[in-house]
Structure 1
Amino acid sequence: MRKLSILIAFIIGFGIFASQAQEFKELDLMLENYEYPYPVSFFKFKAQKEDYKMAYMYVKPSTSKSNGKTVTLLHGKNFNGAYWQTTIAALTKEGFNILVPDQIGFGKSSKPEHFQYTFQQLAKNTKGLIDSLGIKKTTILGHSMGGMLATRFALMYPEITDKLVLVNPIGLEDWKLKVPYQSVTDWYKGELGKTYEDIKAYQTESYYDGEWNQDYAKWAKLLAGWTLNKNYDRIAWNAALTYDMVFTQPVVYEFKEISVPTLLIIGTRDRTALGKNLVSPKVKSTMGLYNKLGKITQQKIPNSELVEIPNTGHLPHIERFQKFIIPLIDYLQK
């Protein structure tokens, strides 16, 4: 009887795995079997005694429409440059050159075995890419974790940052004040056990406030495709290292030091906050309140503007594209 129960459990488990595998395909370490919407190039550089490749898309409008300005788009933690596809198309139509890097550890870029992740290091890598392309000035636009990186970039390199745009950035509050510390090993263990259903459940609650559709599922399936890879432990380790970076390196205390014109675009239904699963329901209810955090942050940043998008979660450029792109273009063309 016990053997029969084990066999039944195995069959059910395998059936779930097979069903998930049919929903999304296995993706390799560098996403070589995943096509980006525009041609991908690589910036090669040396850091921390190793050689790395940073993937990027650099998309230009037709010569007749070019306005000579560049916008650099920085992706979030659970994403890569591909999710900027509609944004790239809209901005190039308006005459902007668009640079979209995958940070080290993400997308088609190198996945180190060992790397000391800091926002300063990622900003320096991005600055090296920008310099290699001969770009003298650029607007820096960051979403989610990319918003923390964009903030750090603007603080480090204000001389080449034309404007700063933050789209539902994380790090608008210091989670260390509420969430117990997790070691890199703790984050790693959590990543190793992830399934598509785990990814979907997290994104449904935090990003989309209970809503879900195929547009959202596309990006969850991309992450889930990596879990099928035999080298997923490398992906999980890099994810753990970047969790530690996000948790221990807040930018919230330096918003007042930003010296470039800044636009905040905030989907007010967003409830993203690192470590919400590690605190009591009472504490959890105080975290990730973007309907309040947008206004608080705008008051901290000199020369800043706030655009709130009601009934919108963590990804305005996916969920409410027109509500996102119209004020963005207006701001960039000022």
Structure 2
Amino acid sequence: MSLRRTFCAIGLLTTSVTPVFAATYGPELQGFKYPYPLKHFNFQSQGQSLQMGYMDVPAKGSPNGRSVVLMHGKNFCGATWESSIKALSDAGYRVIAPDQIGFCTSSKPAYYQYSFQQLASNTHQLLEKLGVQKATLLGHSTGGMLATRYALMYPEQTEQLAMVNPIGLEDWKALGVPYLTVDQWYARELNVSAEGIRNYQLNTYYVGRWKPEYERWVDMYAGLATGPGRKRVAWNSALIYDMILNQPVYYEFKNLQMPTLLLIGTSDTTAINKDIASPQVKARIGHYDRLGKQVAKLIPRATLVEFTGLGHAPQMEAPEKFHTALLQGLNAL
């Protein structure tokens, strides 16, 4: 049986966007400053020596003996969890925020067979190295799909599961979203620009409301995508998009047995390839005001928390409201 709570978004005003030209960063985001010390986990995977960047932040408040692993989204990085890391650490949690292979400060292999299982296995190896035997998972966007896969693979190591506007609440391919080859994705990713990122995030993530602090994340993403490693970054991004579209977790939500918290900004309209879908398909997908409720019914021990009027990243739009709900939810599960 699912439980549901609703938080209304008030006092959020539309703000004009002043474009800022992005810097450029190295292929592993060299030059971009992370909010906490960045460490690296070196390991072997698919015959290659790879490294994962990660932050491991101890409890700042009274330690509660619990760990939270943060899983970032497709167009996000571990750094974008900055306010959530602080809130969780202040509340007594140890917080581990890795960058997955192919993203941000981690390796961009020339070839990698991407799967959510592989990324979950990589993360599990990292946690074993850090001595974390059991953890709460908090996944945002694509990180929600990864957190779901991790929880299904390692249920004994997953104390709780929490997801913030996860993608994968519907199977876009089955609903008729057009297929793109990896080569087509690669061509699209080579054309990424700061202006395009900003406009997409404004309309999809923030429901037309912009704040100056969002510009840092545009700079981060655009600086990586247009920097000296742009071709390697674009290629890995293309492979990851192919993974997302072809490896749905939707059909396995019913198998999640751990307490699960769904944190949903109801005005989110995220749906990959919606821009090239037919009008009929476009009208059917990306409605988080309905998707959150539907998936909460599929997950046996789900609690749904809705943020009315917020978009794809409520933890960034309304951090105080979001973190109050997150901490209450984790304590109640």
Regarding TM over 0.5, the answer is yes
Alpha-carbon distance in structure 2 between the residues aligned to 1:85 and 1:242: 24
Higher helix share: 1
Distance 1:180 1:68 in 2: 46
The residue that corresponds to 2:76 in the other structure is 79
1:106 to 103, 121, 126: 103
Hey, what's the Cα distance between the residues in 2 that align with 1:36 and 1:254? 34
Given candidates 170, 173, 187, the residue that maps to 1:173 is: 170
1:142 correspondence with 2:157: no
Q: Distance in 2 between matches of 1:213 and 1:96?
A: 28
Unmatched segments (≥5 aa) in structure 1: 1-18
State the 1:65 CA deviation: 1.1
Name the counterpart of 2:236: 238
Deviates more, 1:86-95 or 1:159-168: 86-95
Q: Corresponding residue for 1:220?
A: 218
Residue pair 1:171, 1:251 contacting (<8 A) in 2 also: yes
Tell me whether 1:118 sits opposite 2:119 in the alignment: no
Counterpart residue number, 1:283: 281
Q: For 1:142, what is the secondary structure of its paired residue?
A: strand
Q: Deviations over 1:242-280 (max 9, x none)?
A: 000000000000000001110000000100001101112
Counterparts of 2:298 and 2:54, CA distance in 1: 32
Alpha-carbon offset, residue 214 of structure 1: 1.8
Partners of 2:67 and 2:245 in 1: CA distance:
30
Alpha-carbon distance in 1 for matches of 2:196, 2:57: 34
In structure 2, the residue matched to 1:151 is: 148
Would you say the 8 A contact 1:215–1:318 is kept in 2? no
Q: How does 1:1-334 map to 2 (within 5 A)?
A: 23-62=21-60, 65-177=62-174, 178-334=176-332
Distance 2:57 2:122 in 1: 19
3-state SS in 2 of match to 1:76: coil
Query: Gaps (5+ residues) in structure 2?
Result: 1-17
Residues 208-217 or 227-236, more deviating: 208-217
Question: Does structure 2 conserve the Cα–Cα contact (< 8 Å) formed by 1:187 and 1:243?
Answer: yes
The structural deviation recorded for 1:136 is 1.2
Using the size of structure 2 for normalisation, the TM-score is 0.91
**Highest relative contact order (Cα 8 Å, sep 6+), 1 or 2?**
2
Amino acid paired to 2:143: G
Query: What number of residue pairs does the alignment pair up?
Result: 314
SS in 1 for 2:284: coil
Runs of 4+ in 1 over 6 A off after TM superposition: none
Larger Rg: 1
Number of the residue aligned with 1:7: none
The CA RMSD measured in Å over matched residues stands at 1.4
**Offset, 1:209:** 2.3
Q: 1:102 to 1:201 in 2, by over 3 A?
A: same
TM-score, normalised with respect to structure 1: 0.91
Does the residue aligned with 1:174 lie in a helix, a strand or coil?
Answer: coil
Note the C-alpha offset of 1:331.
2.1
Distance 1:227 1:151 in 2: 27
The separation in 2 between residues aligned to 1:199 and 1:24, in whole angstroms, is: 11
Residue identity matched to 1:193 = N
How far apart in 2 are the matches of 1:252 and 1:36? 33
Identity, % of aligned positions: 48
8 Å CA contact retained: 2:261, 2:330: no
